[in-house]
A and B are shown apart, each in its own frame.
Chain A
Amino acid sequence: MKNIIEVQNLSKTYKQLKAVDDLSFEVREGEILGLLGPNGSGKSTTINCILSLLEFDQGHIRIFGQEMTPDAYTLKKQIGVVFQDVAVFEELTVYDNIDYFCGLYIEDKKTRKDYVRDAIALTGLEEFVKFYPKQLSGGLLRRLNIACGIAHRPKLIFLDEPTVAVDPQSRNNILDGIRVLREKGATIVYTTHYMEEVEQLCDRIIILDKGRVIAAGTNEELKELTDIEEKVTVEVDGIQQPQLDRIKALANVKEVTNSKNVINIIYGEGENNFEKLLEFLGREKIRYHKIYSERPTLNDVFLELTGKELRD
């Protein structure tokens, strides 16, 4: 699988703040690459550097095998960008906005008409084509923002936090749309700080912190970086300290915490931990009204690697 983007030793400093620090990674053809990191980790700066919107201090950026520059119009024609902030004309309708931005890439009117129609269908905006942006809800506005960025059917798409502050229906619509784009052959760079989306959507994930790559790999590969096998949460009516001590003594248990009768049990390894815990609770006659098991999340990975939460 060939590389669509190659970033080598990229560095960018704002005055005294090192926003991107010797960053290197590649994006492979046809994949959805997730750039995950907390606010200020350098995700947007990296994207802006790749798109030649920002001058950088050092490093090389190649897209489709060519050096990316502000005047690389042939490359730009194959790229679509959906910025974090909605960037549309308030004075134009939904249709006109999509047509305007698509027209910067596609000159042929007939082709453009088809492309615009497809983008409207993909983002589910058929009923709103004559609406003005101010008449749209936050979620619909985000969908319009996406439609404007992808209507020209780019081969490489950058999506910078496209689901910030949207309702669940619009979020699902957006995520489904991104999957469709990938199925149609687009390579996607997806930037977010929502780990659940990355887990659902991305083939590979790069976790950034302070402008550096702290981990990269598939969802499973990243989770292997942590020594957490399973997390079980039990909500009990009440529990005594000796009983908590006995839970700690169970096989494979790494850590037990109790906060207002909500007990979190972390297992480092092993199988059938959940069943064994249920047996223990029965034996000890500890009454519970909710119990569930989770696999480790990317937040656990981030916590393990940096000592802080992703959403800090």
Chain B
Amino acid sequence: MFFHNFKYTLKYLFKSRILIFWTYAFPIILGFLFYLAFSDIEKNEQLDIIDIAIVKEAAGEQRENSEDEASGNSEILLNAFEALSDENSEDQLFHTVYVSEKEAKGLLEKGKITGYLLAFEKTPKVMVKENGINETIFRQAVSEILQTAKLTAVLTEKEAGRQLAAAAGAAGGAGAGQPDWNAVAEKVLGDIQEEQANIRDISGGNLSYTMIEYYTLIAMTCLYCATIGMYAVNCILANMSRKGMRISVGPVKKGRLVLSSLCASYVVQLLGLALLFLFTIFILKVDYGPNMPLVILLALVGSFAGLSMGIAAGALIKANENTKIGIIIAVTMLGCFLSGMMGITMKYVIDSKVPVLNKINPAGMITDGLYSLYYYDTFHRYWFNIISLLIFSALMIGISFFALKRQKYKSL
């Protein structure tokens, strides 16, 4: 009987156009729309390599007056821009030519370069003709490099002072000699690297906000499993459908029938998910990152949560099928909206202002779980979301179980 019902549940679910649309077609259509809407934006936002020039000479008077300071900063700038202009690097940002100031002015006038840097001035200057993104990036890069240089100097001074004070303390107040410059350099480098590491963590590597859209799309697809689960449950409950009445007078245990129908619903859902993954990965070229097995695991657990939501909708809501489907779709879309489907800002706002909302929102749990796979080196947050989804599912099934138990008799 289990397999008999399983077989026919598969059969009627696959032939239900409305369910197939919401489970299979709609996520793929939406994914394609995301692709059309966001891929161009992302492409446009990809930075071109900026042509710049560096003037390695300064006016004679200035150079004489501040030779030490200028040469210190200029060295740093030259080294930094050399690294940022490395053609073999994936992070190449600039294409740099080293010219005289006169030549630089000429190149700028002709529009051959975005701007040029007077690296050997007392205060290095960026000369540009216009104000645009490339000009801003050029200025910002110079500013960042100089700030980092200043930070390094401050940290070095501090660390050297600390070492001297420590050495003086150990010598009973007698004047200390020289600090251990190797130790100072190691400490400062360590501090700077840590600072850079922090910055990298926050920026999230190569994660684009379009990915959040795809995460919410996966969350939505998982939760649409609720429509299938609800339909399957509806078909076998006497107080929900005429077919349910007919099945209820048969010699079959309701629990076994529900389980069989839900297994079939889950299979239908998994196929929908597989299609979505194949479509997004191979057609839309979406990169879900190196943790694909964990992405799939989260989708499986998310679908289970969706299924449990459908059982609850089937068992608890006293309305016809279409109304229930409407409620499920509305709840799912609201959940996806709150977790960033219509803009990542919403996720940040909810996470910072009402964090509990996305903790109880299954779409939020799925999106956040996928998000955490990119943002964090550790998997604590990922597993936290997996466990949250399982608890959510258990709650839904538990409530439905008691509701179904009470429906031994039809209530008209």
Contact = CB atoms under 8 A, between A and B. Distances in A.
A119 to B, nearest CB: 14
A54 B410 contact: yes
A91 B12 CA distance: 5
B251 A73 contact: yes
Contacts of B252: 73, 104
B245 A53 contact: yes
B223 interface: no
A83 interface: yes
Interface in A138-160: 148-149
Nearest to A109: B4
Interface in A56-109: 70, 73-74, 76-77, 79, 81, 83, 85-89, 91-92, 96, 100-101, 103-105, 107
B258 to A, nearest CB: 14
Given A73-B251, A89-B12, A53 B243 contact: no
B248 interface: yes
Interface in B103-124: none
Contact of B8 (A81, A85, A100, A148): A100
B150 interface: no
B411 to A, nearest CB: 8
Contacts of A264: none
Interface string B287-327: 00000000000000000000000000000000000000000
Contacts, number: 80
A13 B192 CA distance: 81
B129 interface: no
B365 to A, nearest CB: 32
Contacts of B241: 87
Contacts of A103: 1, 4-5, 8
Contacts of B243: 87-89
B158 interface: no
Contacts of A77: 251
B246 A149 contact: yes
Nearest to B407: A70
B228 to A, nearest CB: 13
Interface string B184-207: 000000000000000000000000
A92 B8 contact: yes
Interface of A: 14, 48, 51-55, 70, 73-74, 76-77, 79, 81, 83, 85-89, 91-92, 96, 100-101, 103-105, 107, 148-149
Given A70-B409, A92-B15, A103-B4, 6 more contacts: A53-B409, A54-B410, A76-B250, A87-B242, A100-B4, A103-B5
Interface of B: 1, 4-5, 8, 11-13, 15-16, 235, 238, 241-243, 245-253, 408-412
